Every structure is written in C-alpha cells, then in structure tokens.
Amino acid sequence: MSENIDSILQENRQFPPSAEFAENARIGSPEQLEALYRQAEEDYEGFWMQLARDEMDWHTPFTTGLDSSNAPHYAWFTDGRINVSYNCIDRHLATKGNQTAIIFEGEPGDIETLTYRQLHDRVCQFANGLKKQGIKKGDRVVIYMPMTPEAVIAMQACARIGAIHSVVFGGFSAASLKDRIEDAGARMVITADGGNRGGKIVELKAATDEALGKGCASIEHVVVLKRTDHNVGIVEGRDIWWDDLVAGQASECEPEWVESEHPLFLLYTSGSTGKPKGIQHSTAGYLLNSIMTMKWVFDINDKDIFWCTADVGWITGHSYVAYGPLATGSTLLMYEGAPNVPDFGRFWKICQDHKVTIFYTAPTAIRALMKQGDDFPNAYDLSSLRLLGTVGEPINPEAWMWYHKTIGKERCPIVDTWWQTETGSHAIAPIPGATATKPGSCTRPLPGIAADVVDKDGNPITEPNQGGFLVIKKPWPSMLRTVWGDDKRYQDTYWGEFDNRYYVAGDSARKDADGYFWIMGRIDDVLNVSGHRLGTMEVESALVAHERVAEAAVVGRPDEVKGEAIFAYVVLRGPRPAGGVDEALTKELRNWVAKEIGPIAKPDDIRYADNLPKTRSGKIMRRLLRTIAKGEKITSDTSTLENEAILDQLQGKA
Ligand code: 7RM
C-alpha cells in the first residue's frame, strides 16, 4: 500500500466563508463549531441522544443511546419507535402542506411539482397499493427506476410500511439486477417502462424481464410505471401498472411504527471480491445523520432550492435526494436525464430556471463540464446559487478552482464531502459558515464523528502529512449495521483490521498541520470510475465469464475526466491475437462487461497477454500492472516472473 500512501499533493490556498455567508448561516463562526465539537467530546452519547430527541418526531420516545453490548454490532436508540416517512412528510403538513417538496424536470423538458400535501397523498396511495399486494414490514422490495418523483415515492412508501427497499441503479444490467434481487430475496420489483437518458430510452422493464427470466424465484409482482409510453411486454398476473396499483387507494396510510434499528434499506456496493455487498442501514440513526448533515454541511433553510444530481441508485441519492431534504422540510430538485441534453448547458439552465441555491455533484461531472469551456455556464444566470458541494472522489485543485470561479463566481463556499455507502451520510466535511476550505481537502470530521488516520498498528499518526488508514474510532448513528446475509463479511471487512477497535473505511488519507484531511484513495481493490465504486474483481469475474477469456486482471489508471479508467489485462483461451490486436474481440468484450455489470464497468483498455505476471506464490502483481497501465517505467524487480517476455506484451510493445 505504500504507493498509495506517499503523498504528493501540496495545496496551501485557503478560502474562508464570506462575512455575508457566515452571517446568514446556521453555524456562522469557528467558535460555534468548536462548541459543537466540545459537546460531542464531553458527552458523546448524550450529544447524539439530544439531537435524536430534538430533530426527529418519535411515536415511542427512546431511553437508550448507544448499545455496544454486541460489538462490533452497534445499536442506537433501540427502545424507541419511529417512522422515516412520517418524519419526511407528515410532520411538515401543518406548516408546509402547500410548500413545494419536489420540483421535477424530465430530460424531454416536462416539469412537475409536488407540494408536501400532494407528496403525502401519493406516498400513502402507493403504500396502500403495496399493502394490497401483500407487502409488509420486513419484506424486501427492489426499486429499479428512472430519476422521477415516483422513485422517491416508492422509497418513501416502503419506509412508510416498514418494507426494506433495495434500489438498483438504472444503469446496471439485467445480470446485476438479478444478483441483487436474489441476494436480497425480494418479493417485488418496482420499475418503469423506461427512463429518458441521453436522448434514448433506458429499457428498465426489458432488463427486469430478462433478470426474472433467469431466476429471481422470490419475486411475486412487478410494478411498472408508465414514463415513456413505448411498448413493453406485460406478464399477466405478475405485472401491475403503477396507475392500477394506486387506483382507488386511500390517500391516508397510518405509518408502521418500527423500532429504531429496523432496516430502512439495503444498498449494494462494491468491495474487494466479485460479489457486491448489501449494505444494511437502520431507521432512526440513519435518518438522524441525514438531517444533521443537511443542516450542518448544506446549511439548509426554507428558502433553499436544493439540487443533488446523484441518482437514487447510489447512497448520495438516498441521503440527499430521497430522505435528507424531505426530513428537513426543504424543496428538492430532481432531474431525470444526462448533463449534455440538448447540450452541456443543461445543468446551468436548470440552476437558472429553478433558481437552485445549493448544487451538489461529483468531481467527474465538474471536470466533464469544465472541459466544455466557460461559454455554457456563462450563458446562464447562476446568481441564485449560494453553496456548492462535491462528493464521490477527490477533487483536483484545478476543477475546484473552476467550480469556485466559473460556477460559484467566487461567492459560494464549496463543501467537499467525504463519506461512503457505509457511513450513511457525510463524515468529513466543511461547515460552510465556519470552515476555511482548501481545494482538494474535505477538511475536518463532523462533530460526533471520530475520524482519524492511523498507521498499520492502529496508532494515530501525529506527524503532519503522513499517510495512513482512514478509520472512525467510535460508532455513530448512521453507520451500516451489517452486510445482508453475510455478517462475517461485515465483521472482517470493517472491523477485522484493527481487532474490532475501529471502523476501517478502506481509504488512505493524511492530515495536514491544521488537522485537515486529504483523502488519498482506496487501499483495497476498489476502483472509483466517474465517482462510481466498482470492484476490480467484479470486472474480472465478468470478463472470465466470457467463453474466450481464460484469465483477467483489472486495474485502475488515472483519467482526466473519470478520475480512474478501467484497464484490463486478458489471457485468452487459445492463442493471443497477432500483435496483441483484435479490435472486434475487444469491442465484444467491452460490450460483454456492459451486459454483465452495466455500461459504467466497460474497460477503457484491454491488453492481451500469454499469461499474467505473478509472484512465486501465484499472486497477480497488481502493482506492476498499475505501473504499466499508467505508462510509467517499470522499476520493480521482475526477475521472479516465469516469463519475462510477457512484459512486452503487457506494455503493448509486442
Ligand atoms: C458517497 C460515496 C465511497 C468512496 C470512499 C472514497 C470515495 C467519496 C470522497 C471520496 C475523496 C471525497 N459513496 N470518496 N467522497 N474521496 N473525497 N469527498 O461516494 O460508497 O460510493 O464511495 O468514494 O474512496 O471510500 S461510495
């Protein structure tokens, strides 16, 4: 791991919030922030208990804070009963019934708004429809939908009745969908006849049919939203149109008051094996941190129009589309489509047209938009923006500065938020009215989040700028609870490294002399492609599932826009293509991976070799493959290679 841990980035500029921003912020001074840190330090459990009482409405109040009796399984507020959907919708009705909850813009340009009252009614009707189909507390429901309000309605309806949703990103293939349905043992899939993306229709229903045709025996019904009006096959008895499910259903549905620890959802994410992990989140703890981070990090208030561009298929789309903004009674914007339809000005046009005040996106999107030049953003009025955010990967200072100047007009603080599917919500991030930011740093851990950097023995690294393991030393409310169906994997992956003492994030990081965190990258075999997490093993498994592939090794290489690109080394069954080139096969393999996993997993480069470089013990020399993928000179010892001649093949020289 030393190659990851050597730190090269040096960035010294500092950007304190403007007096104007600080004056209007919820937390408007470093002193106010320090007071929060102190509270969390002095009485950690009490700090979170007080917030849980103040910030959420309980059906049965809790009396217990953190329960560590079954470590490393931690539980919060266990004897309370609560409902997430009630906290996101019903509790605002008296004061905000007519306030807009969701502004939706479809890729074709259609616009729809829903008030809190309308959202309430639609969630209740859908929840009643689910109940009519026999869905009850604890059942798993897979949601495979476009970015329309119905995706949020479906999630909220599940939460309302205590069903556990598992949203599968619409860009994942039928094969990935099937794996997730089967792992979760889902009873129902909620999908659509398609979604609009990039001027095309995403064939969600066709993929669902394909997945169900190959297994998924636990599925009883498929609910189908009409979004695109193009023809899809309907299986009699199994498939139900969304409109038919809700027809005649009452617009009231008593929430299911679940225990705090009742699983709110599963979300599959990549790890270092070929099989994605079903990350299981709780109800109360999860919601609490979504709310706190909306307030602390996004400084959300009633006048804001909040736009997080993430799809609901990712954790960001759970915490900052489907739950956090509603739980704080805010107005959220949802956009269905691609950033370049009809052109690369679309995001900026949406910001202008809907007067977006807080804009949250991924560095990869910022880099892609930056590449298109300043004319697109400059053509729109971006003066409504007051706060910008990033998530998913480290942001390079150049992209940060462009975001700051060209989008934020040097007025808007930028919150670079570090967190993971597993953490549930932001863990390390600036407080925009109090923290001076530095381009490329996610700054300091939030109050009540005990993040630190430790060495391989688990000792805190006190020397500034020394890289180490990013860990969280105390359980926090929104942490994952387990890996669905594989609790051993939960214990081994997240707690095994340091003897159950710390949560291990899987990232390396360093702290500078000011205590600011700089994330350096993953220390496991996880890639970050356009802000999406992908396991190298997943891509390898997909490749070797092709009849012509005997062996494959996948590594990441730096990419200007995507952050990381996927570089695959492939050993074929039978002879290697002459000169290492077979364009038809390369195309076939790329499409194959897209079909096995999804288009985001398509290898950017494929190189054919007679065999892979391995150590004497048979381990693939990944570090060597990474060096080659970067096009760098090989300096490591390669004398142990069985066949040194393959080096030329791997380098594309033979
Ligand atoms: C929210 C999300 C998690 C991994 C994480 C990091 C990387 C996320 C940042 C970041 C640098 C950031 N969940 N990561 N945010 N790296 N700076 N602000 O992305 O589960 O899909 O990925 O993403 O490596 O471990 S995720």
Report CA-CA distances (Å) from 490 to 67, 71, 483, 496, 566.
18, 12, 5, 9, 27
* Residue of the CA atom closest to atom 10 of ligand 1: 393
First to last CA, the chain: 30
Cis peptide, bond prior to residue 342, ω within 30 of zero: yes
What single string gives the DSSP state of each residue in 479-529? S--EETT-HHHHHHHHHTTTTTSSEEEEEEEEE-TT--EEEEEESSSEEEE
Band (pLDDT 50/70/90 cuts) for residue 11 is low
321-344 pLDDT, tens digit per residue, is 999 999 999 999 999 999 999 999
Cβ(544)–Cβ(550) below 8 Å: yes
For all residues of the chain together, what is the average pLDDT?
Answer: 94
pLDDT higher than 70, residue 171:
yes
Report CA-CA distances (Å) from 169 to 48, 147, 478.
32, 10, 22
Q: Measure 419 CA to ligand 1 centroid, in angstroms.
A: 5
* Residue of the CA atom closest to atom 5 of ligand 1: 420
Choose which residue among 419, 526, 529 to substitute to test ligand 1 binding: the one with the highest number of ligand atoms within 8 A of its C-beta.
Answer: 419
Residue 230, C-beta contacts closer than 8 angstroms, at least 6 positions apart: 193, 194, 201
> E strands, 368-450, where?
387-391, 414-417
The number of the ligand 1 atom at minimal distance from the alpha carbon of 421 is: 20
The number of the ligand 1 atom at minimal distance from the alpha carbon of 316 is: 1
* Residue of the CA atom closest to atom 21 of ligand 1: 533
One-letter amino acid identity for 229? D
429 lines ligand 1 (CB under 6 A): no
pLDDT of residue 271: 85
The number of the ligand 1 atom at minimal distance from the alpha carbon of 533 is: 21
Q: Measure 610 CA to ligand 1 centroid, in angstroms.
A: 36
Mean pLDDT of 147-171: 98
Q: How many CB atoms lie within 10 A of CB 508?
A: 22
Q: What percent of the chain has pLDDT over 90?
A: 87
- Could you tell me the maximum CA-CA distance found in the chain, to the nearest angstrom? 74
306 lines ligand 1 (CB under 6 A): no
Q: Measure 472 CA to ligand 1 centroid, in angstroms.
A: 15
For residue 206, which phi and psi values (nearest 5 degrees)?
-60, -40
One-letter amino acid identity for 481? R
pTM of the model: 0.93
Q: Measure 393 CA to ligand 1 centroid, in angstroms.
A: 5
16-41 pLDDT, tens digit per residue, is 999 999 999 999 999 999 999 999 99
Q: What percent of the chain has pLDDT over 70?
A: 97
* Residue of the CA atom closest to atom 8 of ligand 1: 392
pLDDT higher than 70, residue 381:
yes
pLDDT higher than 90, residue 68:
yes
Q: Measure 392 CA to ligand 1 centroid, in angstroms.
A: 4
442 lines ligand 1 (CB under 6 A): yes
414-446 pLDDT, tens digit per residue, is 999 999 999 999 999 999 999 999 999 999 999
599-644 pLDDT, tens digit per residue, is 999 999 999 999 888 766 667 888 899 999 999 988 877 776 767 7
Distance in angstroms (rounded) separating the CA atoms of residues 154 and 205: 16
pLDDT of residue 525: 84
The number of the ligand 1 atom at minimal distance from the alpha carbon of 531 is: 19
Q: How many CB atoms lie within 10 A of CB 409?
A: 12
The number of the ligand 1 atom at minimal distance from the alpha carbon of 519 is: 11
Exposure b/e, 187-214, CB count within 10 A at least 16 = b: bbbbbbbbbbbeeebbbbbbbbbbbbee
Q: Measure 586 CA to ligand 1 centroid, in angstroms.
A: 30
